[in-house]
Structure 1
Amino acid sequence: MRRALVALLACTTIAVACSGGPSSTSPGPTRTANINRSRLDIAYSAFVDQDVHHVTSKKALEGALQAVRKVINDAGGKSDVATPEFQDVDSPQTTDFDKFADVVSQLVTSNPDVSVNKISDAAIGGLIDASPDCHTYYVTSSAVHQSRPFIPRGSSAMIPAQGTSLGAADQAGLTGKILPGGIAYITWREWTVTGSYKIVAQLRALLDKAVAHGAKAWLFDLRGNLGGVATDAHSMFLNGEPAFTTMLKTGGGGTATGNKDLRLPDAYQLPIVLVLNDRSASDTEIFALSLEENKRATIVGQKTVGCLGSASPNHFSDGAELAVAVEELAGARTGAKYNNVGIPPDIQADDATAIDKAIEILKQKMAGG
């Protein structure tokens, strides 16, 4: 999910585990005009077959043709070709793709000054725009096309000036302070995992230090944290409760629960406030929804990005990649859908006042309020 957010922010280097795309739905090239038919076929087949939102063949191909017309019109070309009738079903259709390919072939033939690669890339971009999701994107050597782009406006975490430091920030930005009254302020910029570093283990070590310094409440400032690999971090503060449910194209994919073996001792089960904003996403959102839905934490700040799910990567021979959203996460207790929506805060606050409000809430909780 972190990778989906990297693409969402228009980074041009994306690496995900290799997964073969579905087989082509139509024969090899039979048209005179080169339209990158095989590439278009693979993209169409993968997208309509895998999309968790049940995009239809009709919607996807109409979106692709609209994008092709636009790139031709923008180049001063002619795009007056009728749109064929496509089937309104959520599975790839050979006859639909053949109709689409015929139209694209006509447009390529009548607009020789417009690059074929530009046309085919535009078609794939228009294809995925038919079902926007932060996990669905198309990456070439020169560009990233996000089906659901967004412009973050919030800030990153802002460490309070007061308090006793728990140590300098490490490679994941993990650091903390004991604020007046025993509130442990902790922040990190991403859920980093490498061969020698695991954020959850390092977080646990910092929690140990905070408890040793008399921590009475947790204030996790995760503004600007776009995710990574959280690996059951929520289980530290749960007792086996349902954490989230997964939704697939074929239906429900089951419910994940907190791992009781990872629950921390009672000395760590303190009041929790999470400070989030529109730059909090992916595994940060999973951590938040798992705790908030079980009434284990209060969320202060602004609605999160809404990127909770996973994608299937489909690779092309030239290194390009089409990632398609194949899974969404929802609240295990409420059934609320957060992907493409975001997690709303319990207490609304802008970035300038969020920490003060979080401290106020924790003081009330510590006082038994």
Structure 2
Amino acid sequence: MAGAARAREGEHARRVATLSFSEMRRAIFGLLTCVAIIAACQVDTSGGSPAPTRTPDIKRSKLDIAYTAFVDQDVHHVTSKKALEAALEAVKTEIKSAGGTADAAAPEFQDVDEPQIADFNKFAAVVSGLAAKNPQISSDRIADAALAGMIKASPDCHTQYLSASGRVYNSSTSAINGANAALPAQGTSLGGPDEAGLAGKILPGGIAYITWRQFIFSGTYKITEKLRGILDKAVAQGARGWIFDLRGNLGGDAVDLTSFFLNGEQTYIVLIKTGTAGTASGNKDLRLPEQYQLPIVVIVNGRSASGSEIVGQKTVGCVGETIPNRLSDGSEIHVTVQELVGAATGTKYNNTGIPPDVSADDVTAGDKAIEVLKQKIGQ
């Protein structure tokens, strides 16, 4: 009995020793594993592996959207090359003006009138490099400079960049100059001025002198209706000819108004980037009765933004339409997508202006118009 008991005790001791040794091996292995994991997770501050570099903020997505819209929509077929070269040069100029370093070679861009992803990536890489060298210049300042420069690659009085801060950058550098319209001192009032600046007088000899500053159409005001009222008064007082003084006129939709004096003739052709988009004609239903179909003289100058005899100075040449593209920070880029050309001659007046038939400065234009009209009506 005693021998059997001692045998069982020995077996138990061997089992305990075996389990303890096995557990010890697992514990040691686990400890070594934890040490390895901790070592692997520790940051090496010795300088052997550099930390990742943060890419400078250049408002990349905003620039991308603006570039794509500009090159894709521009009626003048601006190319990717011209747009990005102008933008990059403007960024360099802005950096230099702030005393920064602007040494960077311009990449090769494609000379095509469609947006190119590869081109924009090259541009963004160069601008990012410049931004990294000049951290004192804000990303907004860099983006504003880029877009203000980009639109100058295709100057048009309608194409503009409106920054998030409210500043307006124009693509065209054409000067807008000249005086606003003015009624003669003599004559009998036909009414006005009203909210559109519409006013008129009937002058000796039956000359109706009429002016307004903008073609306004709203829920409560329509320039065509108000002008018709002035014309009615003039005809009732024996008008024999019309002088429309449009110096300083801001423009607008004049189709219905011109239809007063047309008989359905074509007025202009609409051009877009891909070709002709249609031809506008006078509305025969709006033609006024024959007693209104009198000789006409129009006075224009360098502040006139958009048939008959024309007196004065060349207009500013702002004849077209834009698409506003809203950007990520609330800024906008307005791109000219249409321009209008004369239906009879095919002449482009956008960005060139309409030359007068009779030249006169602002001081003498009114008197010259009266003189020309008197000749036309036989006075």
1:71 maps to 94
What's the CA shift string for 1:265-291, capped at 9, x where partnerless?
Answer: 00000000000000001xxx2xxxxxx
What's the CA shift string for 1:24-82, capped at 9, x where partnerless?
Answer: xxxxxx97221111000001100000011101100100000000000000000001111
Asked if 1 retains the 8 angstrom alpha-carbon contact of 2:209 and 2:245, the reply is: yes
Shift of 1:192: 1.6
Asked if 1 retains the 8 angstrom alpha-carbon contact of 2:66 and 2:327, the reply is: no
Give matches, 1:74-93, under 5 Å: 74-93=97-116
1:361 counterpart = 2:369: no
Identity, % of aligned pairs? 63
Give matches, 1:140-179, under 5 Å: 140=163, 141-179=165-203
Stretch of structure 1 that moved more, 146-155 or 314-323: 146-155
Partners of 1:185 and 1:31 lie apart in 2 by 67
Max Rg structure: 2
What's the CA shift string for 1:274-328, capped at 9, x where partnerless?
Answer: 00000001xxx2xxxxxx2xxxx10000000100010111002332110001111
Unaligned runs of 5+ in 1: 1-29, 286-291
2:206 maps to 182
Match of residue 122, structure 1, among 145, 148, 153: 145
Partners of 1:131 and 1:150 lie apart in 2 by 13
Letter of the structure 1 residue corresponding to residue 203 of structure 2: L
Pairs aligned (count): 326
Stretch of structure 1 that moved more, 214-223 or 142-151: 142-151
Partners of 1:345 and 1:38 lie apart in 2 by 46
Shift of 1:355: 1.3
Structure with the higher helix share, 1 or 2: 2
1:332 maps to 343
Q: TM-score, normalised by structure 1?
A: 0.86
Match of residue 77, structure 2, among 48, 54, 78: 54
Partners of 1:272 and 1:315 lie apart in 2 by 42
What's the CA shift string for 1:146-191, capped at 9, x where partnerless?
Answer: 0013333210012101111112311111111110100000011111
What's the CA shift string for 1:173-222, capped at 9, x where partnerless?
Answer: 11111101000000111112221111111001110111011100000011
Partners of 2:310 and 2:372 lie apart in 1 by 10
Asked if 1 retains the 8 angstrom alpha-carbon contact of 2:82 and 2:111, the reply is: yes
Asked if 2 retains the 8 angstrom alpha-carbon contact of 1:200 and 1:231, the reply is: no
Structure 2 vs 1, CA of residues 366 and 31 (structure 1 numbering), >3 Å: closer, same or farther? farther
Higher RCO (C-alpha under 8 Å, 6+ residues apart): 1
Asked if 2 retains the 8 angstrom alpha-carbon contact of 1:312 and 1:325, the reply is: yes
1:22 maps to none
Match of residue 98, structure 1, among 88, 113, 121: 121
1:109 counterpart = 2:132: yes
1:342 maps to 353
Shift of 1:332: 0.3
2:301 maps to 277
1:3 maps to none
Letter of the structure 2 residue corresponding to residue 106 of structure 1: G
Structure 2 vs 1, CA of residues 193 and 346 (structure 1 numbering), >3 Å: closer, same or farther? same
Asked if 2 retains the 8 angstrom alpha-carbon contact of 1:245 and 1:329, the reply is: yes
1:319 maps to 330
Partners of 2:233 and 2:257 lie apart in 1 by 17
Letter of the structure 2 residue corresponding to residue 260 of structure 1: K
Partners of 2:278 and 2:211 lie apart in 1 by 31
1:213 counterpart = 2:224: no
